[in-house]
Structure 1
């Protein structure tokens, strides 16, 4: 793959700053926090969609997948077979997870409404990380490039989406026809968040600076993407919001300590926050401009996820890892808000991927064409 470093550096202009308005004064949302699990074993990797929460659970000796229905206030195991079942993802009534019982990673698709399960065997070896939206499941190949693959549920077909140029990749995130993911395209620290459109097969990576920014762990809701981002060589990430419809960028956190692993739903963004010396969970409301802690227990709270008025995370206050839930007062729901404060323009680069087999090296080589764009702010 050719390296775009020199041409990109000449093409990128300094970002234009937007006007910063004062945030409105608002009261914090009312939260009700409770544990979902209390078993002394390990419960990890929660995921949530609307009223359903899934996680991996070790109470039976190996990892199983459990589900909790908030509307029914009921917990149930989805797997109890021997071997590890890990890393669940959920969309509506569909749950997908990685099954390692055969010695290689396969995926299992479970329908909560019918109880039916479908086994998906990747064409190439896969990492035990996946995401689902609608009729699509996306995972990461376990080869040295860590390519992205998509599975179409109605047709049962698998397709490679694009190639990575590095031997590491963070989990992707889906929303309708939009996929956001990480890649390593240029230079020793050039991690970028990319936006892939299934209807155009076009990757667009979101550029603020090729030389000094590192973006990781993207999450998406409609046309809003959140990432953890930091200046190089500073190693303390903050949370940033990208509006993919308007090409606007906004910094959400400014604390000098670490803010990790953002998630977004509607007007609300959650993340893992280390400003008090340990891992806590914080919440930001875009409509009110209000930031507040969700939990600040002296133990560690990690890996938050949010859907509608519910936030879930891993919590170690009992000596093991449990799954905790914070429910936001539903009367605090707010309409969609247009970004107006602290926004900046960002740049984007469209990538058109190509693939060719190199017989001399006995492997596929990947290329991409580039088209530069600038936000209109």
Structure 2
């Protein structure tokens, strides 16, 4: 999966954080004091080009243009400390986070490689520096996954086990494989081997591959959390949000509203996605769908907290 769903900070602490952030927001950012919808939420400015936020526990990471180059930034909700994960002349972007570990792609060697930064111990290590291009990293626990074009032509899926220091090819089927997500023993990705984009899954412990969805149209951007997989799906013409539950073997249409619903994420019973008018959240336990941030895009969820992009900044939403 894109993020591991740790415990979110208590709402009382988060409320104090919101007040503190409103006090320290620069005067130039009038947007910071404008709350999007009723409820507890805060927005802290990161510059006009900040996007692609990801949240895990108390940490939000994103990519931003700093002094003309793309950098990866981390913000600790519990301390209010901002940490540049990677900055300088090289281009660092495409971050993902699990706990204290941030993975991203960087090009210090002239191509795109995968690196890991540990926020607790303050060190950076290369995960994959193969001469080809690596991109779209994701992390859960000791497992890092990414798409890789070392075999020429279209991209494949690879993984690295931090605990054992071993790399493995997950899928090298014909045509494109990309957008991997990992949760525990399971990896999912988009797969074009059948002529359209489908969703496939790989079990690390057994090395078994499974087709999750090959419906007409296309399926893309899968995310896995435990036994649940969500993705965007064009079987009905527009982009819709679908869910597959591994424990029950059932597929469910989460949102088939007119227009496009894209970039889903999932944490427990809650699914978020981007639609034309903002970020929506669906609660599987109640069956309710709610607009949570007007104009919000590219959402990431962990527990009750949702980070999303809006007007070049990062919004943090909590009910």
Fold in common (TM above 0.5): yes
3-state DSSP of counterpart to 2:218: strand
Q: Which residue of 2 aligns with 1:49?
A: 56
Q: Quick check: 1:86–1:128 contact (8 Å CA) kept in 2?
A: no
Please give the TM-score of this superposition, normalised by the length of structure 2. 0.83
1:32 aligns with 40
* Corresponding position of 2:227: 223
Map of 1:302 onto structure 2: 297
Residue aligned with 2:314, SS: strand
User: Which residue pairs with 1:160 in the alignment?
Assistant: 169
Measured against aligned partners, the alpha-carbon deviations of 1:42-78 in whole angstroms (never above 9, x if no partner) come to 1122111111111112133211111111112222212
Q: Pairwise CA RMSD of aligned residues? A: 1.9
| Count of residues in Structure 1 that have an aligned counterpart in Structure 2 | 281
Is the Cα contact below 8 Å between 1:270 and 1:281 reproduced in 2? yes
| Matching residue of 2:8 | none
Of 107-116 and 77-86, the range deviating more from structure 2: 77-86
Instruction: Output the CA distance in 2 between the equivalents of 1:323 and 1:242.
Output: 29
TM-score (norm 1): 0.71
Cα pair distance change 1:164/1:46, threshold 3 Å: farther
Gap change, CA 1:56 and 1:149, over 3 Å in 2: same
Q: Which of 242, 249, 256 is residue 244 of structure 2 equivalent to?
A: 242
CA distance in 2, matches of 1:88, 1:131: 8
Per the TM alignment, residue 144 of structure 1 is displaced from its structure 2 partner at its CA by 1.4
1:75 corresponds to 2:70: no
Task: Indicate the residue corresponding to 2:153 in structure 1.
Answer: 144
Instruction: Output the CA distance in 2 between the equivalents of 1:228 and 1:119.
Output: 31
Deviations 1:66-105 (A, max 9, x none): 1111112222212232211111111111111111132111
Q: Where do 4+ consecutive residues of structure 1 move more than 4 Å?
A: none
User: For 1:5-47, what per-residue CA distance to the aligned partner results, in whole angstroms no more than 9, with x for missing partners?
Assistant: xxxxxxxxxxxxxxxxxxxxxxxx97323213243x3112211
For residue 208 of structure 1, report the CA deviation from its aligned partner. Answer: 6.0
> Displacement, 1:262?
0.7
Structure 2 unmatched runs, 5+: 1-36
Structure 1 portions without partners, runs of 5+: 1-28, 329-377
Instruction: Output the CA distance in 2 between the equivalents of 1:248 and 1:62.
Output: 44
- What's 1:90 paired with? 97
| Equivalences for residues 1-377 of structure 1 within 5 A | 31-39=39-47, 41-123=48-130, 125-142=132-149, 143-166=152-175, 168-187=176-195, 190-207=196-213, 209=215, 212-231=216-235, 234-274=236-276, 279-297=277-295, 301-316=296-311, 321-328=312-319
